[in-house]
Amino acid sequence: MAIDQTLLQNLIENNPRFRMLYEEHSLFEKQLSELEKKPFLSEQEELDKNKIKKLKLVGKDEMEQILQSVTT
């Protein structure tokens, strides 16, 4: 899904819920990146990684719903 950068910036600046989701998404991306750098993950780290992936996906789905609601 190609996103208009102007629309994205407008939502980040003017929609508090979208901004929070966007910031969470970025944080989750960073956390996953850090976990993926490790050669071995403990059982707890694996659980954390899977939880972060699920939370990231839920947030992404909600952001897409917001984007669709403002473009239709």
Residues near 24 by beta carbon (within 8 Å), at least 6 away in sequence: 55, 56, 59
Over residues 58-68, the pLDDT tens digits come to: 999 999 999 99
Over residues 20-50, the pLDDT tens digits come to: 999 999 999 999 999 999 999 999 999 999 9
At 1, the pLDDT band (50, 70, 90 cuts) reads low
Model pTM score: 0.86
Every domain of the chain and the residues it spans: 5-71
